[in-house]
A and B are shown apart, each in its own frame.
Chain A
């Protein structure tokens, strides 16, 4: 009981301090929190190299610089089990002292949402410190006869081929999305990454593909300019209330919902759309998140949020953020919370619906222990 009481009281203090900071009294949130001389371990459940690792290594020194007491933040890679191993370790071992944080990705969210037997972590127990959205653009080959996004209707009834990393990977979003749109897409699995898939598109093996925003700008835009690729739509972004809007990076491209409407004549809705929407949120707007463990006092959470906000003005952040984050801003506070909720909660019925579909159509089994 005492423990519970303490937590609540601390939470109250933190809230008060957070509010003070929010209305601009100028004091950094939670002045009593200090990590001076400490080392903070940032667990990344992936191997070195690759998106999540690079993202954490970009943020780590800045986070250290702006956390109270300027601690050293080190990135600790704990790869394995498609990122479930590192997340399990964090759930089992991290203490609520702010010295261990976890960086997750869509690949950590998806097994959780699907009910993978390897998952022994529970997102709802954790405190979100920051969320880093991303976006992506779907494009097709001109051989389909499509010359502009408005022509998407021409794809109906055509045989499309997509290079996928696997039915339970991040490519579950295009799988569910294309299915929802009624497109006849053959998913060829076993690709190592989206870059690999793009190569297959460039070789002419596939005729529909998507790339995340920065890869799209750098690698697909030249193809569009050459006339060897035609953009169709962006997956879209979420506004503060969690509504799907056009991706601000691609204001001229329709969002998924608009493209759906062009194809079918009505706005997307219903349980299948809800299922798609949960995985879309976990895979794009809430793709990368930073978590503090269960029972972490609110003032520590606030200190982290404040540090993540403060680093945005740093010249090092400004100089390299485009290459690492694309054109999206990392968010904290309410925005991060909305993404966290939307990207980690799925109703049991929707989960069952997706898992059953994957088993029936693609022979997917989620392991057997």
Chain B
């Protein structure tokens, strides 16, 4: 045993291994900083170089990349409010408000030190856990996995916002959106309405960007200022580290949680950050600052998402089951260098396993270190006048969005979900509740159906099910006690949102209409295909109904009323632009893409936006456009991808990248 540990360590600490790992870390940093690009893109980028490399160096490079992405994706989450990848969606909730307060550097350093710590805790847990992991992982059957999905859903209680019926209705909408596409039990296609794009459901990256990034961009576009309000970026560097230190135990708990959830195949990493965010709120005494820039809202998800990557390695290595998209590519990489996952990874190949686990810790240290160094200069971005930043951000989220299926429909879906997100933000519908519902819908449905098939209703008395069920109840209890509101200023405002009651009712009715649509679609399906959407619809209609009742009958200060256009902090300021200007610009880009393809459309968009909206001079406009065009081109070239094409491309045969 000792020999194995030592030989793994010796392999790890060679100069060659470290050099390759640094290479992987650097690529991971760059890829992670770009929103929407994550482990999958980064690993595909490195794949061609795997040939002829020795095992240890190749693994070091791959691990370096995988490990650093949940660290570096924090940049866009905190600085721009764009979720850098699915693992740091929850970071946006408090990170971005901190950046808006001019505390970007503090938020980033808190995030990086938490990531670093999470990565190391993950590696430490794995070192001991890996030997006994096989039987433990096998204890989680379909029934337990279903209960874990319910546990994840229980976080809706804490993220439901001021009005519980609103939160639950939002969650039901998310569950329905998550159920679009092939039904797990029968494969029949639900809610596709003859649209080929919807056969596979709406991709996660679109939902994440649409719900969180588009509304923020749209808001900022109206205000015309910089992201950071006030001039100083704050020298919060040390303050951020202190934020983490003060919440050390929260960080330890969330890291362990992340590592465990990552290790259980089937749940997937995209809820880890929300579960730990929910946990942070549930265990906090004072929750008034959550959603408005509480450092605990950064420490918790960032600790867990790096630890999760470590946990996710376990099912990949021990069973050959990738827990996430990037783990699937990582697995492919392992196979390409001749390592086949399986029980031998804890037998004869144990030294490889250990060098993987410790590479992970080492890569986390490298990555967090580099990010720390970059935090100050990069947070300067938030001091740039937003009209100059906006075209880059819009181009970036569109670029990120069409990574999903590389189709124009991705952009259309982004626009539609973005508008839903804007309205949800305006009327105080909690977006995290929708997202959690969306992410967990397939899991909840699939595992429930499988559990019933395997065990019948007897599955509810399995010990694991009872334990997780009790945890869920506790979570709901604390969640309801410590509800958090991410919809901005509340309470103290003298004005109430009662005035716009009618449009609020209108939006709620629109959501009810969506339930009606789902119900109508469900009637055309078999029992197994329809039972889940019908069940969710019933829940949605009940809570949507209660909400409507509140909106129609409630007194003026009823918490169901919320309109950001009345109580928002921008109200009363001069020069607020048109409410729909953000989506209008994005829509312009989408329409032009449909005509002339994305690349030409993007160049045109930059020119138009910088000239008309930012009032930039011609030289500056051309320079910025050229930079953006070159950057996107370079990315596309390296990733071997074609841009979405439009009418022009179908009529004429153009050379890449205009193709």
Contacts and interface: CB of A to CB of B under 8 A. Distances in A.
B188 A363 contact: yes
Given A57-B48, A202-B138, A188 B342 contact: no
A176 interface: no
B336 A48 contact: no
Contacts of A7: none
A81 B200 contact: yes
A198 to B, nearest CB: 7
Given A48-B43, A80-B407, A189-B186, A200 B142 contact: yes
Describe A's contact surface by its main secondary structure: mixed
Interface residues of B, number: 63
A96 interface: no
B141 A205 contact: yes
B338 A320 contact: yes
B4 interface: no
Contacts of A61: 48, 51
Interface stretch (B217-225, B248-256, B323-331, B559-567): B323-331
Contacts of A205: 141-142, 450, 454
B231 interface: no
A30 interface: no
Contacts of B47: 57
B454 A199 contact: no
Interface string A47-62: 1111001100110110
A161 interface: yes
Nearest to A319: B338
B496 interface: no
Interface residues of A, number: 59
A335 to B, nearest CB: 25
A207 to B, nearest CB: 11
A41 B642 CA distance: 11
A57 B641 CA distance: 15
Contacts of A199: 137-138, 265, 319, 321
Contacts of B450: 188, 190, 205
A54 to B, nearest CB: 4
Nearest to B406: A78
Contact of A47 (B40, B51, B337, B642): B40
A80 B319 contact: no
Contact of A190 (B319, B331, B449): B449
Given A118-B199, A219-B343, A324 B336 contact: yes
Contacts of B641: 76
A196 B384 CA distance: 48
Interface in A173-230: 186, 188-190, 192-193, 195-196, 198-200, 202-203, 205-206, 214-215, 218-219, 222
Interface in B1-58: 40, 43-44, 47-48, 51-52
Contact of B196 (A60, A316, A369): A369
A218 B320 contact: yes
Contacts of A196: 265-266, 321
Contacts of A195: 319-321
A216 to B, nearest CB: 10
A54 B344 contact: no
Contact of A316 (B52, B139, B342, B446): B52
B453 A186 contact: yes
25 contacts: A47-B40, A47-B325, A48-B40, A48-B329, A49-B43, A50-B328, A75-B640, A76-B642, A81-B196, A81-B200, A190-B184, A190-B185, A190-B446, A195-B321, A199-B137, A199-B138, A203-B138, A203-B139, A205-B142, A206-B454, A320-B338, A363-B528, A365-B189, A367-B189, A368-B189
Given A80-B405, A323-B336, 20 more contacts: A49-B40, A49-B331, A50-B328, A58-B336, A60-B48, A80-B200, A80-B407, A188-B449, A190-B184, A192-B266, A195-B319, A196-B265, A203-B141, A218-B342, A323-B335, A362-B186, A363-B186, A363-B528, A368-B189, A368-B194
Interface of A: 41, 47-50, 53-54, 57-58, 60-61, 74-82, 85, 118, 161, 166-168, 186, 188-190, 192-193, 195-196, 198-200, 202-203, 205-206, 214-215, 218-219, 222, 316, 319-320, 322-324, 362-365, 367-369
Q: For the complex of A and B, list the 6 residue pairs with the smallest distance between their C-beta atoms, beginning with the closest.
A: A49-B328, A190-B184, A49-B329, A54-B332, A218-B342, A190-B446
